[in-house]
Amino acid sequence: MNVFQRLTLRLGALPARRVTWALMLGFSVWVLLDVLVFRVTSGMALSSFDAMVRARVVAAAPDPRMVIVDIDEATLARMSKEFGRWPWPRDTLATVLDHIEKQQPAAIAWDIVFSDADRLSPGGDAAFNAAVARSPHSHFAVVRLPLANDTTSALTRAQLPGLWSAPELAASPGTSTVALIAPVLPAVAASRLGFNNGYPDADGVLRRYRYRETLPDGNQIQSLAAAVATSVIAPGKNTARDARFDKDELIAWRKTQEAYPRISFADVFAQAEGDKPLAAVPSFAGKVVVIGATAPSLHDIHPTPLAPLQAGVETLATAIDNAISQRVVHELPRWLQAALAIALCMGIALWVQFKSIDSLAPALVALPLALLGLGYLSLNGAPVFLDLHLAAALALLFLAVLRYWNGLRQQYWRQPPASADGPAALWPIKGAAPWLGEPLDRLIDALEAHAPDCRVVVADANVAWPGKLLWPELVCRAGVVGPAQQLHSNRAVIAARLGAQLVAGSPLPVPLAGGMARDKLAQACWLAWAGEGESTSTNQ
């Protein structure tokens, strides 16, 4: 016997209760250290979350007020005939802005950064600056730079007042500086602003949106979506919770990646110029108009749970829609995920203590699927995403380790007994069911508690679904071999633990003083089963 075999036998000999609870404690400590210290696991299984999002049956309907004025590839081609390649002179944007503004929209969100002056067309800059000054509904995007740059920045609240959250949320007049790429046009800088950065997860997929960010002085700067929502939601309707959240929130995606109606920028421009657009242009009255690009050549695309390449303007429209409707998908805190995982392992340990490990065999598949199913159902309109990936993974691993150890345990208790110092005996028994799984575990539990020097002789039976046992009559028979004194003294209590349906014969003497060959032991069991198994009862 090699070292590995000796080690596995020693592991199999360990008491079941101690092993179960030691494993439960070890798994719990590992989860706590991971959640609180090491953070090796992300908690949420990202790929399965994305699959759940795409497979939803129920998803929030798009707000009918949302509309996208789209700079797509067709628009770029049409406009290039007169204005050349993007970026066009900004008087084209001024024309569209004035045209939309005249119709009294609810808000206009520009998913375009105006960080540089147009050296080739300063007149276009002047025209757009004047149009912005006339527009009470426009909101503009800025690019937020890393937090580490804030201390070296000179930008303050006084220079970009529209970037900070509403005055009623201010903790103090504020002294913090903020690092960002600011607008170059004066009217844009004086307008309502918001950062519009994407903060993807480690795998590069955008799943969350940051609505607000708290600065060291306690004040907050707002995202473009939050700025639009603040102007659209009626006073008193915006709850304190939704007005103050400053962490990355899961985006409540719509059913498809192109959920909002798109109107070609070229068609809006043609209508504004008095020309006939190629497609009908609806009224913008009361609408939340998002102006941005879906053209891949302008590179405002990124992967999301809905698609490997989704236009950034669609994500912005979704974030604005969620902010307006105050729709937030909350996540379970990591500590609560850890607590649920530990509680689940504790429940498994308790079950194993009073039942058996093999009785949980169906749970290897059913339990993780049930937990993932709950998470999927919660994505269908529930306000909280029940992220149970950690609990499902831990339960699956815990069950797998327990089952592996249980195999070692059965191997230990089913090996031929060693030589006995005194008289040995063979106790033939017959169960109402085959000695597989839970019945065999109960028999081993009884021997561990009352006859630790005895061993079990039972035939192996492996059945692959959908097959069945061909000779259950043989597998229902077993033998307990060991010191005669232990068997005679404890067979009544062992029989009682195994149940009233057990049929047991009388212990028969067998030679074990110098060890017994396997074939001789098997022959003795066959003779005992044939001679006494049917004629005795548990009371003998």
pLDDT at 237: 65
N- to C-terminal Cα distance for the chain? 39
Q: What angle do CA 460, 462, 468 make, to 5 degrees?
A: 120
Q: Where are the alpha helices (DSSP H) in 379-510?
A: 389-413, 438-450, 472-475, 484-498
pLDDT at 532: 57
Distance CA 372, CA 106 (A): 40
User: What Cα–Cα distance (Å) separates residue 3 from each residue in 6, 7, 8, 193, 404?
Assistant: 5, 6, 9, 70, 18
pLDDT at 204: 93
Q: Which residues pair with 408 in a beta bridge?
A: none
User: What Cα–Cα distance (Å) separates residue 191 from each residue in 161, 163, 183?
Assistant: 8, 8, 10
Hey, CA dihedral for 247, 248, 254, 260, is it positive or negative?
Answer: positive
Neighbouring C-beta atoms of residue 424, cutoff 10 Å: 25
Distance CA 118, CA 87 (A): 9
Hey, CA dihedral for 123, 124, 130, 133, is it positive or negative?
Answer: negative
pLDDT at 263: 97
Write the secondary structure of 337-368 as one string of H (helix), E (strand) and C (coil): HHHHHHHHHHHHHHHHHHCCCHHHCCHHHHHH
Reduced to 3 DSSP states, what percent helix, strand and coil does the chain have, rounded to the nearest 5?
45, 15, 40
CA 214, 219, 222, 227: dihedral to nearest 10 degrees?
150
In sequence order, the 6+-apart residues with CB closer than 8 A to the CB of 375 are: 52, 385, 386, 387, 388, 389
Distance CA 119, CA 496 (A): 95
pLDDT at 355: 81
Question: 521: which 2 tokens?
Answer: 């032991």
> What 3-state DSSP class applies to 456?
strand
Question: 182: which 2 tokens?
Answer: 């600011």
Distance between alpha carbon 246 and the CA centroid of its chain, in Å? 21
Helix 363-378 with 389-413: angle, nearest 10 deg: 170
Distance CA 499, CA 439 (A): 10
Question: 224: which 2 tokens?
Answer: 């473009």
Per-residue pLDDT for the chain (540 aa), expressed as one digit of tens each?
577 777 888 888 898 889 999 999 999 998 888 877 776 665 567 888 999 999 999 999 999 999 999 999 999 999 999 999 999 999 999 999 999 999 999 999 999 999 999 998 999 999 999 999 999 999 999 999 999 999 999 998 888 999 998 655 555 666 789 999 999 999 999 999 999 999 999 889 999 999 999 888 888 899 999 999 989 987 766 654 454 456 788 999 999 999 999 999 999 999 999 999 999 999 999 999 999 999 999 999 999 999 999 999 999 999 999 999 988 888 888 888 889 989 999 999 999 888 878 788 888 889 989 999 999 999 998 889 998 888 888 888 999 999 999 999 999 998 888 776 778 899 999 888 888 888 888 899 999 999 999 999 988 877 666 677 877 888 888 999 999 999 999 988 998 888 756 777 888 888 876 677 788 888 888 888 887 544 443 333
Over the Cα atoms of the chain, what is R_g?
36
Distance CA 342, CA 348 (A): 10
Question: 114: which 2 tokens?
Answer: 């105006």
Query: Do the beta carbons of residue 263 and residue 69 sit within 8 Å?
Result: yes
Distance CA 196, CA 206 (A): 13
The secondary element (H helix, E strand) that includes residue 209 is strand 208-210
Parallel/antiparallel/unpaired status of strands 262-264 and 66-71: parallel
